[in-house]
Structure 1
């Protein structure tokens, strides 16, 4: 069964990390009701509305309307101009990324973005050195002290190839659990993971088929605690 206009709007909104109230504001609407009604299939599609939504989310209007062609444009004003409309540029959007759980990180794929609840998920601005599929995790445990204390937010880009010395998220293939360690390549030894905490017992994990690196830590953020 093909997707509806509302389903495409919801998919694009979640992939961009935007909530319904945020999207409504970006379109110049006072409440999220119009967005909600579109996504639930309770409102008949209007071209002017879809153009505003497409501009806000940087989408191809034709994709929103019919599901045909490329989803994103990277230059929404040009896509809208193709319909012969004289439209003013919409407000700038800062792409946001989700904080996922360590359980989700263990089975992470791009698809999980679509399944996230935008209202219960914590969203953060995407760091400028991170790609569009970046996700965030909250550090737990003390294996990466002192550089990453518990509670620190880290940003992981799954499209970056790890180099020796990088801090990475890896998944243990036997258990499906995600772990946070430093990635090392040693001549004659091979690849391994290492806990940064010098007091950590058994700090090394050999990468011999029992784990796979799923992303490189590209940034971190410390939230002020009161």
Structure 2
């Protein structure tokens, strides 16, 4: 289904659910959602504007349904009647994003980690270009860090460059690094200083005290083996406990 067809389908869902809720006009629905103009609902129902995750959440609360029903209607409940079991969901809907900027106060369950925007941890050939972070921060919930057993005092965020860690880490991915965890657990991902090159790789111990450096994109970037006598070339910066990448929608 193309993007235009999808917007029309969502628009039909909104109109149907509005009528089912006894809301006779688009203006009334807009008012209940706290929107000043009727045109937003009108554009949604006409299928001329894509519904954001935040607006889907607002519409769902007003109409007494789930955001999934706004976006997908009843189609997400359909299944082949010839199959014995109904397909199981592998995802859970969560509320939309909260918007904030550098002047927004931290909540009680938030902590701001340093975000080194100008540091490129090369997932490809490596980079030694390092600058001060300029005070940039990235917000995390304390509960999120606690689940990964990460102390905020030993955590920072940096940006990965290169394509050696595809498809897991794309160029531009932001990773969180716990600098207190430097012991190698086979198969875990680490930020390392490899003889002056800052990199994000999976590490494995080898017999005799060596290290195997592995990329996800193993076809283009074969494994590297560091012999015990050259182990001093590797400095483990910390364990990668989190990563995030923004996909770009191309209409």
Query: If the length of structure 2 is used for normalisation, what is the TM-score?
Result: 0.45
Structure 1 or 2: more strand by fraction:
2
Larger Rg, first or second structure (1 or 2): 2
TM (norm. structure 1) is 0.49
